[in-house]
Amino acid sequence: MNDRQVIEFFGTLDVPEGIRAELLRGDIVMTRSPDLVHNCTVADVQDGIPRSRWQRLQRQHVEMHRETSEPVPDIVVLERGAGPDSGRLVPVEAVTMLVEVVSRTSAHRDYVTKRSIYAGAGVPVYLTVDPAAAECLVLTEPYGSGERADYRCRRNWRYGETLLLPVLDMSIDTGKFRCDPAP
């Protein structure tokens, strides 16, 4: 199959409820429903993003034009009025920030694979929230393409600190974020 056929096939895939399917560099990755810590963390991050200026979409497919990828981040943030009014995909050009809450099974995808996919697509801000490490990582200034794409600026915050997002002119209090207990 060529890239276009893979993307078309993925768009018609019938995925059981409770399963998230993502297309990452031509591979279809399916994951089960997240746990309570993950879902509460997603809700806490979303609550910290001002609704008056930003659309905060959960588990929305993002259309990447330079890769055979359709990731489904935990939160997609775009300015109100940006992006389409309907459909399954949000074009990456409309996206201001993507958020992934890291789990034990998604760590490599979130820290490595998605990081380079998002940077290569020019996503201005990539936020990872890691309940096991009790820290957040904000990446800005994307550069490069393919698997070598990355972000020039990185900043870590420990849980309990106020996470600053100057690119979006906001901050998020991480004081109530839940930690993931040891396995």
Query: Would you state the structure tokens that stand for residue 68, as one six-digit string?
Result: 């055979």
Are residues 117 and 24 in contact, defined by beta-carbon separation less than 8 angstroms? yes
The pLDDT assigned to 125 comes to: 97
Residue 82 domain-assigned (yes or no): yes
**Could you list the residue range(s) of the whole structural domain that residue 88 is in?**
34-173
Residue 11 domain-assigned (yes or no): no
Please list, in sequence order, all residues whose beta carbon lies within 8 angstroms of the beta carbon of residue 98, skipping any fewer than 6 positions away: 62, 71, 73, 75, 76, 77, 114, 118, 123, 125, 126, 127
pLDDT exceeds cutoff 60 at 183: no
pTM above 0.85, yes or no: yes
The pLDDT assigned to 182 comes to: 59
Residue 159 domain-assigned (yes or no): yes
| Number of structural domains in the chain | 1
Instruction: Report the CATH number at residue 134.
Output: 3.90.1570.10
pLDDT tens for 5-62 read 888 888 887 887 777 887 888 888 888 778 889 999 999 999 999 999 999 999 899 9
Residue 180 domain-assigned (yes or no): no
Residue 135 domain-assigned (yes or no): yes
- Give the Cα separation of 172 and 178 in Å (integer): 14
pLDDT tens for 127-159 read 999 999 999 999 999 999 999 999 999 999 999
Residue 29 domain-assigned (yes or no): no
